[in-house]
Structure 1
Amino acid sequence: MRARPYALLLSLLVAPFAHAAAEKNIYGLNERVALPDFDLEVSAKLDTGAQTASLSARDIERFKRNGESWVRFYLAVDEAHAHPIERPMARVSRIKRRAGDFDPEEEKTYTARPVIELNLCMGKTLRTVEVNLTDRSAFQYPLLIGSDALTRFGALVDPSLTNAVGKPDCANASDADE
């Protein structure tokens, strides 16, 4: 019965990690995400290699309102969004450019993007996350969800799955500020 002490030791070592994993939600590589602020549902790519979330927008224009920084933009998700949206800016992010995406003589290796706070609903989980605005119309998914937002969702991403949490349903959720 020498194996019994080792089994006990192993269970004591694994228990904290099992508890942490139990609190996580499993999402697929792609999920349907509701944007309640815009009364819209879009397809999103969950990308653990990206830090920030990005929403497809066009005609992005920064301006001042009562001394505060704001941004005006149009959603670039389909033809139906022809009206401008104005939101306060949370900050400006510096997104590193890829080697083929910049001119070495320009000496600028990043792109400055306005960031807004936005409510996102995946499955039955609603969270407020920071989202940078950029034209993603050349990409398949109008919304990219990076590691910062995935952490807010307590997400584990299984790339073999798609739409693992089903249709967004946060009608009764009140946990956007958690």
Structure 2
Amino acid sequence: MSVDSSQTVTETQRVGVLSTHNSKETKAILNAVRVLGYDPVWIRDENVTSWIEDGDVQLSPRVDVLVNRMLFTKSDHQLEDLQLAALYEETTPVVNSPQAVANTLHKYRAGAKLAVADLPVPDAYFGRSPRTFEEWPKYLPDDAAHKHTIGTNGQQMSIVSPNDPVSPMINDEHSFVQEFLEDTDGRPSDVRVYVVGGEIVGAMRRYAPDGDWRTNVALGGDVEGVTDELGDRPRRLAKEATDVLGLDIAGVDLMPIDGEWFILEVNATAGFKGLFSATGVSAAPHIARLAIERAGGGVETSQILELESTLDDSVPDCKPPLAQDEGDDGVLGYTTRIRINGRDGAEEIIVKSDTGAKRTSIDTDLAGRIGAGPLVGTTQVRSGTGSDRETRPLVNVDLCLNGRWRTVTASITDRSEMTYPVLLGRDVLEAYTLDISRTVEE
């Protein structure tokens, strides 16, 4: 039986942050939770589990409230990641609920939702086939911004004209076109307003790099703090947009055109490094306080004001280890039985250790069976005893050695003539003591 996530917790003990990435913002929130007197819990792939027992849903790590910091726009498995956040919501209050994030994830759909709420957004057009997409100039007669429907940081956006051939896809992902709003007064810019719990933490103007029109900080844009100068209208729009989409935390991008403000985008997992650089205010303690209060705890305003002037992005003690220590004797033999996992399957095999090999390599057939990947590059390897070089693909695989999991970037090669399908190189062996007298039998 599930626990109603709306129930009040009398005392917050553990504040979880769901984040599989290593951003400064995630670390800063966790560190702020610790300073405010609560226990931070970093929930990642390395430590999260769930089970259903006698009708009760159990989750580990257990937390009293969860901050959803998953970067869904950069995920290859957005639905799966959304469901992880939704799984926690079955038993735990979640800051930035999965449904609210889903409202925001698809940029065109978010714009439509804001438009239905009578909030000012640029005109836009969306189609899913080449035939329907080519009709966009009927609705947007001037230049338009061509964007991913799901994406971030302004990458691969472009300005298109009505006479340009435009695809409904960008790098095999769906796209849309949006009215290109341009302030003719000087350098292209917009305003990012950061909203936490219905209150504005800060605002900054973002300027595009020289020769560009995109204002994203990740692309090299400059920022300046404008919190104090921000008028009532943009403040109200930022709060209303966040509320319409159901978000607790949001970065709202606004632009004034001829005295009227427009909502360009709303970001559910907006970074705040740039905001701190521009304003000297960190959103981390504000987010931490919102989570603590959501679960029934309390934080003094004076503590927040003291903490917001710093952004502590040091690695918190609560970061889960990448490997398990239990059962690891730190010794590998000349041959060792291991488990190897890919995207499509797993196998238990016997591998050989070779300190003469710089990198671990796996057999082509084995890589195909387990779905080794993704492809992360190539490497040049000397072929035999001659001077010829062989180009090998590099893939990520998970290995379990002596009960300890680790991710290895291995090369793929034909080892069908070899006894062992995997050769452990120095990239793995450097973390172990090698005992060549130790072997395992088939």
Same fold by TM-score greater than 0.5 = yes
Question: Residue 131 of structure 1 aligns with which residue?
Answer: 410
Residue 27 of structure 1 pairs with residue 306 of structure 2: no
Match of 1:90, SS state, is strand
What is the aligned-residue RMSD (CA, Å)? 2.4
1:41 to 329, 342, 348: 348
| SS of corresponding position for 1:149 | helix
User: Shift of residue 24 of structure 1?
Assistant: 7.4
Which residue pairs with 1:159 in the alignment?
Answer: 436
Deviation of residue 74 (structure 1)?
2.5
- When residues 86 and 51 of structure 1 are mapped into structure 2, their CA distance, relative to the original with a 3 A threshold, is closer
Tell me the matched-pair count: 111
Percent of residue pairs bearing the same amino acid type: 27
SS at match of 2:436: strand
- Tell me whether 1:112 sits opposite 2:417 in the alignment: no
Pairwise CA distance, 1:86: 6.5
Q: Is the 8 A contact 1:52 1:145 kept in 2?
A: yes
How far, CA to CA, are the matches of 2:397 and 2:359 in structure 1? 13
Cα distance in 2 for partners of 1:142, 1:132 equals: 12
Decide whether the 8 Å contact of 1:130 with 1:149 is kept in 2.
no
**1:55 match:** 362
TM-score under structure 2 length normalisation: 0.24
Supply the distance in 2 between the matched residues of 1:74 and 1:129 (Cα, whole angstroms): 16
Q: How does 1:136-151 map to 2 (within 5 A)?
A: 136-151=415-430
* Larger mean Cα displacement after TM superposition, 134-143 or 24-33: 24-33
| Distance (Å, rounded) in 2 between the aligned partners of 1:115 and 1:88 | 8
Structure with the higher fraction of residues in strand conformation:
1
Provide the residue aligned with 1:88 in structure 2: 374
Q: Contact (CA 8 Å) 1:24, 1:156: kept in 2 or not?
A: no
Q: Give the aligned partner of residue 217 of structure 2.
A: none
Deviation at 1:124, TM superposition (A): 1.2
How far apart in 2 are the matches of 1:148 and 1:91? 16
Q: CA 1:86/1:126 → structure 2, altered by over 3 Å: closer, same or farther?
A: closer
Larger radius of gyration: 2
Return structure 1 stretches of 4+ with deviation > 4 angstroms: none
Q: Of 372, 375, 400, which residue of structure 2 is paired with 1:121?
A: 400
Distance 1:126 1:92, change over 3 A: same
Provide, for residues 38-67 of structure 1, a one-character-per-residue CA deviation record: whole Å limited to 9, x for no partner: 221111001111111111114xxxxxxxxx
**Distance in 2 separating the partners of 1:110 and 1:48:** 20
Change (3 A) 1:40 1:24: closer
Return 5+ residue gaps in structure 2 as ranges: 1-327
What are the superposed Cα offsets for residues 3-51 of structure 1, whole Å, 9 maximum, x if unpaired?
Answer: xxxxxxxxxxxxxxxxxxxx97111100011013322111100111111
Change in 2 beyond 3 A, CA 1:52/1:86: closer
Q: Counterpart of 2:429 in 1: which secondary structure? A: helix
| 1:149/1:86 CA distance change after superposition, 3 Å | closer
Structure 2 CA distance for aligned equivalents of residues 74 and 35 of structure 1: 12
Question: How many angstroms apart in 2 are the aligned matches of 1:123 and 1:87?
Answer: 23
CA contact (8 A) 2:373 2:397 kept: no
Corresponding residue to 1:74 among 347, 362, 368: 368
| 2:348 match: secondary structure | strand
Deviations 1:79-136 (A, max 9, x none): xx8xxx373211101111222xx5xxxxx62100001011100111111111111110
Distance in 1 separating the partners of 2:372 and 2:397: 12
Counterpart of 1:146, as a letter, is G
1:176 is matched with none
Q: For the residues of structure 2 that align with 1:87 and 1:26, how far apart are their CA atoms?
A: 27
The amino acid that maps onto 2:330 is: N
CA displacement at 1:141 relative to structure 2:
0.2
SS of 2:331's equivalent in the other structure is strand
Kindly tell me: are residues 24 and 39 of structure 1, through their superposed partners in 2, closer, same or farther at Cα, counting changes over 3 Å?
closer
CA distance in 2, matches of 1:52, 1:87: 16
| Contact kept? 2:357, 2:426, Cα under 8 Å | yes
Deviations 1:128-150 (A, max 9, x none): 11111111010000000000122
CA contact (8 A) 1:34 1:121 kept: yes
